[in-house]
Amino acid sequence: MFHLNERIRPVSSRVKVNYAICHFCGACVGACPENCMFLRSSHLAIDNSTCTVCQRCIYACPLRALSLAEGQLEPA
């Protein structure tokens, strides 16, 4: 059973980019503590092998172009 103060995160979750909304401003890249996000020729790349899914990039995006891919839930 989960306690109210436990964090919940999706299993094998990944950050996904809505390229129809993204303006490639780089706010997410600057917010990433793992340095796993890169702007390359008008394309945002995410290295999922080093991403810890901390979600700082999601909260830093002024256009809400980033979100979590769906998955099952488990305690973090």
Q: What is the pLDDT of residues 16-65, one digit of tens each?
A: 999 999 999 999 999 999 999 999 887 899 998 899 999 999 999 999 99
pLDDT at 7: 55
pLDDT at 11 over 70: no
Cβ atoms 68, 14 nearer than 8 A: yes
pLDDT tens for 14-29 read: 899 999 999 999 999 9
- Does this model's pTM top 0.75? My answer is no
pLDDT at 25: 93
16-70 belongs to CATH 3.30.70.20: yes
The ranges assigned to domains in the chain are 16-70
Q: Which DSSP state fits 74? A: E
Distance CA 26, CA 11 (A): 27
* Helix (H) or strand (E) segment spanning residue 9: strand 8-10
